[in-house]
Structures are given as structure tokens and as C-alpha cells.
Structure 1
Amino acid sequence: MKAQATAAAQADIVLGRTSFPVNDYFLISFRLRGAPLERYSPFPDIEGFKKSSKSSTTTTRIVGGQTSTELTITQRYAAYAEGEFELKPFSMTVNGLAVQSAGAKLQVLPQQAAPTAPPAGGAIQGLGLLDKLFGKPKPQEYIEPHDNAFLALVPDKTAVYVGEGVHVGLYFYLTPADQGLLSFYNFGGQLPDILQLMRQRTAWEEPFNEQEIVPETVVAGGKTYLRYRLYEAEYYPLNTQPLTFPEVPLQMVKYRVAKKPEAGLDNRMEGFKTYRTTARTITVKPLPPHPLRDQVPVGDYHLREAINRTTFRTGQAFMYSFTVEGEGNLAALAAPVPQVLAGVEVYGPDTELGITRQAGRVGGTKRFQYRLIARQPGVLALDSIFSLVIFNPTTARYDTLRAEVKPDVKGNASSAGSFTARPDDPFYREVLNSADNSLQPLDAYVDVKRYANYILLALALLAVFGWWRSGR
């Protein structure tokens, strides 16, 4: 895929599998690196497919003190039928950067398993005639019809623990019959005030990277609605103060209709109506008693480990990854502090964070990569070095993620003294894995100094002789 970039940002397009069963999705993603997302153009339409849900993933890497961030927005497409289809070449604009794709041939195979129900929505991509401009109406008598639309602020929980996430969405609902009566009015201008009302000073806010406002078909109270997702975020309370959301207003265009419609006339007149949410309060519960209660991360987490060697020698560096996976405030999750163990040196960590926001949930992975050197032979019990106490809000219990890898270190005890390396030293990072740990004579540098002095003395004598000859 071709990508254009500025000095500060880079963007490209990534296509998913081009051969897949009819009950699976085809994926188109764009990746943005080096800048926060400001705007992007719509994903392309594909003949024979309909757009389904979207998701966003943010990956943050911290290596050697340098931080880099990559955002991926993914659009899912559902095929109507089996067969071969063509994705024509297309381009998108991301933060003003033009990115192109050469397209692809898509092969939709027969169904292979029970179909996954596509997320509701995507059937209607706008308000149709509401967005057209209307001519100046002739004098008529207009009435304001009743509508069934409403604005709602919907949390997925009414009570949470400190540090536990609560998803809050701001939605506008209207019935299909109301489409001809209502239209959005200057939503971009109203959004800053809406966000200010939803902001919580005592909570960490993780917003969803969604810009397009498209309707989803939902059923509430036995009635079918079109639901517009205006804003959604995950909130993580920092203390026991309740999360309080006041009434949020939204001004919409509402048309009045002619009492006696006449042929050839618009028979509608533009007006305005303000909708308001109901105020909401979410209770925040303290964590159960624990010696580390104020430092324990909260979430549904589990541990995944990795190590870069299968054989180990004393004095030889190796890499160990402690990766926390699951749902929770991974951005605020601190690295496990290595415990001091005799005969083992630990450096790092380098950090990589990947956050995915999808279907009202926030999760991902956070990897901490350490560099270790064992000075003593034998089984190295990493569980005595790396562990992380967590609180699982689902079970309301504390748990400990503890390393299970136990490498067997071969060789003789190393008498080399430990050293402290600067984490930003590029020489240290490049040569540590291949460094020779064999002992050197203590007077090695004394000999080097002696030979250097001999050379300097010879050069000085040569210079004096040259000066004396030139004087003659």
C-alpha cells in the first residue's frame, strides 16, 4: 500500500484476508503513526458488501526512553452472498495525508461455521432527505408534529470499584417515522460543551476513536429505533467520589409541517428543538482491605510470559517479557518492580502498550521486557523476582500474577562484578547480548598505557629532529 507522510506523521492502509467464508468479515484498516488522530475520510463502499462495526487499537512503545504511538482504525465489511468480488483501487485522507490502496480480488467462500450475528446497524447510512437544502416556503399554516426521539446517557454499570472501568455512551434515538422531521444541527460546534459536561475530574477517561455518526437499528421497549452514537468513553474512578453526569443538552433541527399541504411546495418549515439527557450518578466503592490497596491495578487480567533463549549460561544476558493481558486501565498499569535476588542482575524494562476499543469494551496488552544476567549456575526462579498483585472486580478478589518460567543456567559461577548501565546508552543495548564475559589480566590497561607513552615519545623526538633540520 502506498503512503504519504510528513516529517511528524505517517499513515498507510492495510487489507485483511482476501479469501474468507461468507459468515466472516473482510477488514480494511488504516494506521497512523507520529501524530494524534484529528480527522479521516470515510472508508470505501464495496459492491456486494455492507459496512458493519468499526474498532480502534492504540499501540504505545517505550524503548530506551523513546515513546512511539500507533493508532489503527478498522472497518468491517459483511458480504451479502458467496462469490468473487472486486475491491477497486481507492484512497483515503488521514490527518490531511493521502493514502492509497491498489485494491484486491475478494473471494467469499461458503459458510464454514455458525454465522456470527453482525452488530446492529449499518443498514442506513444517513438521514436521507433531511440533509438537503429547501427553498423558501410560501406563506402557509404550519404545525409541529409529535416526535418519539430522545437523548440518553447510558452507563453499563450503576456501581463500580475504585479503578474499575465503566462504559458511558451518549446516544440519540429516533423512530424511522421521525427521519423526515429531525436533522442534526451544528453538532461539531455543540460537541466541546457536551464533552465538558461529561468530563469527570476524579476519573481517568479513555475515549473511543469514532468520528462518523451513523445510525444503528435497535429495539427498545418493543419499539424499533435508529440510534446515533454521539460519544462514548470508558471511565476509571481514581477515588471513591461518585461519578456525576449532569443533564446534557443537544439542539436539533425539527421541521414543522404544513397544516394543508399544497402540491409543488415544500410543506415544511425549519425550526429547532433541544433534547436533554437524564442526570446520572455512578457509585464508586472502595477496594477491600489490603496492604497494597492504593497501588494495586484493577482489572480482569492474566499473565503471558516469553523468553528469548532456550539455553542459558552464567554471565550471558537474556530477555524476559512479563505481559499483562485483559480488560482494565492498562495505560495506568505500572511495571512490576523486580525483587533483588543474589547473583542476578535485572535491567529495564522497555514497555509496549496496545489498547483496543471495541463494542463498548476497552482491553489489550501491556508488555514489560527486562534484560537479565545470571551470575550463578542452577535453576533461576523468576517467580521470586517478578510478580504483580491485582484486584479482579468481577470476582471481587485480589490475585497475584507471578512468573512461572524457571530457566536452568549452566556454567561456572561468574566472579565478574555487577555494573550499572545507563538505559539510554546505545552501546550497552547493542553489545550486551554478544559481550565476552571472560576474565582479563588486571594489568592489561597498564601495558596499553606504557606502549602509548613509547609511541608519543618517539613522535616527540621525530618532531624535534625535523625542527632542527629545518633550522639549518
Structure 2
Amino acid sequence: MMRFLGWMLLVLCTIAGPQVWAQQPVRPPATTSAVRVELELGRATFPVTEYFTISFRLSGAPLERYSAFPDLEGFKKSGKSSTTTTRIVEGRTTTELTITQRYAAYAEGEYTIKPFSMTVNGQVARSAGAKLTVGQAPTATAPPPAGSAPQGIGLMDLLFGKPKPQEYVEPKDNAFLALVPDKTSVYVGEGVHVGLYFYLTPSDQGLLDFYNFPGQLPGILRQLRQRTAWEESFNEQEIVPEPVTMGGKPFLRYRLYEAEYYPLNSEPLVFGEVALQMVKYRLAKKPAEGLDNRMEGYKTYRAAARTIAVKPLPPHPLRDQVAVGSYQLREAIDRTAFRTGQAFTYTFGAEGEGNLAALNAPVVQPRTGLEVYGPDVQQELTRQAGRVGGRKVFRYRLVARQPGVLPLDSLLQLVYFDPETGRYDTLRPELRPTVRGAVRTELPFRARTDDPYYQAVLFEASNRLQPLDAYRDVRRYATYILAGLLAIAGWGWWQAKR
């Protein structure tokens, strides 16, 4: 009897509910709440078969950029997910975006997460860390006893019947994949920047998510490789959204891969169609409170093929040897006073944009009364903001034996082709050191005063060339002499015994 009265009371409340709600006053829509960022950690105790999660919730503004999730000792990052939640409370609409990073534990045990912080849209959110306990994998559950209600069916389902499954629809998105080169034609040796980007509108963030991108990336790279080009790939970094504007509309751009290609010959660079599979959620027709109201699906986006024409360099006697790029000369010298017989260091540096690996050392023209040693080569390459450049430094050691002005510009020259001007140019030194002192004919090196070998032997040794098999002949003659001495010793020993 009491159970029947309870069910009747529940039915009456359900019927009277709309009348009570109708009596509440209608409030005007409120303005968007202030921007708020919160960090949330998953359960501190869980089995090794489940994930630990770190999430941040952003409300009051669309997501622009965020810093990388922390690396946890003993755990491996295992993908991310995003959820967009829209709430309407007393006429006020709030939207929350939650980005969740999953972590898989390598083994059971206890772990300590140190305090960390993340930056979201310029705001810093901090977490005090936690102590985690990773337990054993749960055992298989026993089947329910006979006569009990099936799993997922409660008392309300038994009374009114199991609810019908939700119906989902696939909303239209404005996302696309694009392969974007910064030039449509280049010269042989000229760099062209190629980037693979995924674009979506801010409203599509809750509909799309990356699906196994580390597993798809090797196949994408094989499609982008060019047999006739030198490739300088940019450092891999965490994929974060970048706000951009295209056609007057705001988009979020994800930089998937970028590299600089330098054609080695006049064959065109051909990039085929590139495909990327994404997770796309279908939304419930009738959202229900307390449920995710989404169903996971997949969609493949394709970037159109691209062809970049390659032009040969203009005629030049050194066309097959010159570097291509925009360079400036940076030169330096290690002293201000120069005397004959003294060694000094001259640095010839080329700085700018181009394929520094193809930049050869300038050829030194021979000059009477001057000794040149080297060069020592040092290269610094910078990849930043879609540009590849840096500097390449050649260090020479010079010894002048005759006084006078040393015309470095006639000794060192670097010819290159500038694609911006379409002409050849030459880097020439501007420094002209003046060497003072008498004419020196001796070697610039001095023997060590504390080593008699360098004093007496090195400078008295003959500089006459020796045949390559001289040491082999000496070893053979020494073997003959040793054999002869052994024979004489044996004969003497035999005579002594007689």
C-alpha cells in the first residue's frame, strides 16, 4: 500500500511540474560570464587498466591557445579529448570547453605528481599535484543472479518500460585540410616552405578531435617526401590551435607539419593528395541531462595536390657550384696589429636565408708571400616562423711573410645567386689589414726550446720525398740482417762445443 501511494505521489508531481514552472518569472538573458580557467585531476586511486586524466575547463571565451600538458613520471600520454558543454541556468547561457589529456600507467604502484601549471588564453592555472595509487587490474565480474533486473534497467524502467535509444544527427562542419606552399615557382636551389594545416571554426571544436595522429604521421611524411629536393624539416612541437582569419572569418589553425624544400634540379616538385582521418561526433536530436549526448564517428579530410614549378638558374661559369639564397657578409679578425711571420685568424661568414648545407667555402687564390691554412667551418641553422636561415662561418689562419697591405678581397670571394633579384652576386671582404716588418723567409713555426728532438731533428730532416714502400724495404732488410746474426751465433756456439 505504501509503495502504491509513493508511485501515485511521483506521478502527481510529474503532472504538476509544468504548472509550477510556468509560475516562475521570465528573466532577461544575462551577459557572458567572465573568463575562467580551472584545472581538474582524475581519480587518485584506479586500476592499471584505466587512465589517469588531467583536464582544464575554459569558460567565458573561445579557446585560442594553451600550453602543453605536463609529462608524468611513470605514465605515458595516450591521446586527448575535448568536450564543449552549454548550460542555460535562469536564462543565463554559459559555455565550457574541457580539454582532457589521458595518461596510461606503465605499472602498478604509488606515484607522486609534483605541482604544475598550465597557461590557457594567457591565464595561468596551477595545480598542487597529487599522490596516485595504481592498483591491479579488476577481475571479471560474475553474471547477475537469475531473476534480477538486467544491468542498466532500474525500477523506473521496470515500471514505465526501458527508454528508447537516442537518435543522432551529423551536423555540418566548416573544417578542411590544406597543403600550403609559400611560392608557386622557385629556382633550382631556392627554398620553398610547405606547411600542412588543419583549419576549423571555433564552433567546430566540440565536433572534431584528432584520431591517432602519431600513427598517421609517418604515412603523411612518405607522401610529402621529394626525391629531387633537399628537405629541412621544422622541429616537431605540440599541435595547438592558432587563431587566423580567412576570407574575413575566424578560424583555428593546427600546424601538423612544415618543412623547407630546396630543389636539386629543374624537375617540378609534385605533392600528391594528403588524407587525414579525424574523429567527428554526431549529436543527439533530443539532448538528455546527465548524458554525453554525442556519438563518436570518423571523417576523412583531404588536401588537394600541389605542383611547384622549378626554374633553372641563368647561365654562369659557376652555375653548378654556386649557392642560392639571400646572404650578407659578416667578417672579423682577431687582432689590430699585424707583423710579418705572425699568424692571425680571419673569419669569413655568410648570414641569411638559404640552404646553408650547399654553401661551399670560398676558394682561396694563391698569393706569393702568404700562407693560408684552413678553413674551420661552423654552421648555425635557425628554423622559425616559416623561415630557414642562419649563418655559416669559415675561419682561416694566415701568415704574411712580406709587409704591405693585404688585399683580402682578391683572395676570398663567394659567388651566389640571389632569387629575390634574379641575379648573381659576390661576397667580398672589406677588411684590408696592413702588415709591417721585414721580409721573413723562415717558417712561421718555432721549435720548442725544451725538446731537443724539435731543435735538432725536425729542422735538419730531409724534405725529400720517400717511396711509399720504403718502410717495407727497411723491415725486409732488417729481417735479413737478424737472420744473418742468428746464423753466425749458431755457428759460433757449434764451434765452441767442438
Q: TM-score, normalised by structure 2?
A: 0.58
- State how 1:417-432 maps to structure 2 within 5 Å: none
Distance 1:228 1:122, change over 3 A: farther
Q: What CA distance in whole angstroms lies between the structure 1 residues aligned with 2:376 and 2:306?
A: 41
Q: What CA distance in whole angstroms lies between the structure 2 residues aligned with 1:370 and 1:237?
A: 31
Q: 2:189 aligns with which of 147, 160, 163?
A: 163
- State how 1:361-400 maps to structure 2 within 5 Å: 361-400=387-426
Structure with the larger RCO, 1 or 2 (CA within 8 Å, 6+ apart): 1
Distance 1:332 1:52, change over 3 A: farther
Q: What CA distance in whole angstroms lies between the structure 2 residues aligned with 1:366 and 1:273?
A: 46
Instruction: Quote the residue 1:209 is aligned against.
Output: 235
Instruction: Quote the residue 1:445 is aligned against.
Output: 456
Match of 1:244, SS? strand
Q: What CA distance in whole angstroms lies between the structure 1 residues aligned with 2:427 and 2:402?
A: 26
Distance 1:386 1:51, change over 3 A: farther
Q: What CA distance in whole angstroms lies between the structure 1 residues aligned with 2:206 and 2:441?
A: 83
Q: How far apart are 1:417 and its partner, in Å?
A: 5.1
Match of 1:331, SS? helix
For 2:414, the aligned partner's letter is L
Instruction: Quote the residue 2:226 is aligned against.
Output: 200
Q: What CA distance in whole angstroms lies between the structure 2 residues aligned with 1:251 and 1:124?
A: 30
For 2:273, the aligned partner's letter is E
Q: What CA distance in whole angstroms lies between the structure 2 residues aligned with 1:311 and 1:251?
A: 67
Distance 1:258 1:281, change over 3 A: same
Q: What CA distance in whole angstroms lies between the structure 2 residues aligned with 1:410 and 1:403?
A: 20
Q: 1:298 aligns with which of 311, 321, 324?
A: 324
Report % sequence identity.
70
For 2:362, the aligned partner's letter is P
Indicate if the aligned counterparts of 1:124 and 1:216 stay in contact, CA closer than 8 A.
no
Distance 1:412 1:365, change over 3 A: same
Q: How far apart are 1:363 and its partner, in Å?
A: 1.1
Match of 2:196, SS? strand
Query: When you count helix as a share of all residues, which structure comes out higher?
Result: 2
Q: What CA distance in whole angstroms lies between the structure 2 residues aligned with 1:282 and 1:52?
A: 35
Q: 2:175 aligns with which of 149, 154, 175?
A: 149
Q: What CA distance in whole angstroms lies between the structure 1 residues aligned with 2:65 and 2:364?
A: 47
Q: How many residue pairs were aligned?
A: 305
Match of 1:257, SS? strand
Q: 2:353 aligns with which of 294, 304, 327?
A: 327
Q: Gaps spanning 5+ residues in structure 1: where? A: 1-49, 55-120, 126-135, 419-431, 439-443, 450-472
**Per-residue CA shift, 1:89-122, capped at 9, x if unaligned?**
xxxxxxxxxxxxxxxxxxxxxxxxxxxxxxxx98
Instruction: Quote the residue 2:156 is aligned against.
Output: none
Match of 1:298, SS? strand
For 1:445, the aligned partner's letter is A
Match of 1:195, SS? helix
- State how 1:84-163 maps to structure 2 within 5 Å: 123=121, 139-163=165-189
Indicate if the aligned counterparts of 2:65 and 2:242 stay in contact, CA closer than 8 A.
no
Instruction: Quote the residue 2:364 is aligned against.
Output: 338
For 2:385, the aligned partner's letter is A
Q: What CA distance in whole angstroms lies between the structure 2 residues aligned with 1:51 and 1:339?
A: 55
Match of 2:430, SS? coil
Instruction: Quote the residue 2:24 is aligned against.
Output: none
Instruction: Quote the residue 1:282 is aligned against.
Output: 308
Q: How far apart are 1:264 and its partner, in Å?
A: 2.1
**Per-residue CA shift, 1:323-360, capped at 9, x if unaligned?**
00111111221111211111111111111111111111
**Per-residue CA shift, 1:273-316, capped at 9, x if unaligned?**
01010000000000111000011100010101100011111111
Indicate if the aligned counterparts of 2:195 and 2:259 stay in contact, CA closer than 8 A.
yes
Q: TM-score, normalised by structure 1?
A: 0.61
Indicate if the aligned counterparts of 1:122 and 1:216 stay in contact, CA closer than 8 A.
no
Indicate if the aligned counterparts of 2:325 and 2:353 stay in contact, CA closer than 8 A.
yes
Check if 1:184 corresponds to 2:210: yes
Instruction: Quote the residue 1:350 is aligned against.
Output: 376
Instruction: Quote the residue 1:244 is aligned against.
Output: 270
- State how 1:260-279 maps to structure 2 within 5 Å: 260-279=286-305
Match of 1:362, SS? strand
Instruction: Quote the residue 1:309 is aligned against.
Output: 335
RMSD of aligned Cα (Å) = 2.9
Q: What CA distance in whole angstroms lies between the structure 1 residues aligned with 2:239 and 2:421?
A: 36
Match of 2:266, SS? coil
Instruction: Quote the residue 2:13 is aligned against.
Output: none
Q: What CA distance in whole angstroms lies between the structure 2 residues aligned with 1:195 and 1:270?
A: 27
**Per-residue CA shift, 1:54-82, capped at 9, x if unaligned?**
9xxxxxxxxxxxxxxxxxxxxxxxxxxxx
Q: What CA distance in whole angstroms lies between the structure 1 residues aligned with 2:205 and 2:186?
A: 37
Q: 1:172 aligns with which of 183, 198, 221?
A: 198
Q: What CA distance in whole angstroms lies between the structure 1 residues aligned with 2:240 and 2:417?
A: 37
Rg: which structure is higher?
2
Q: What CA distance in whole angstroms lies between the structure 2 residues aligned with 1:168 and 1:403?
A: 35
Q: What CA distance in whole angstroms lies between the structure 1 residues aligned with 2:164 and 2:373?
A: 78
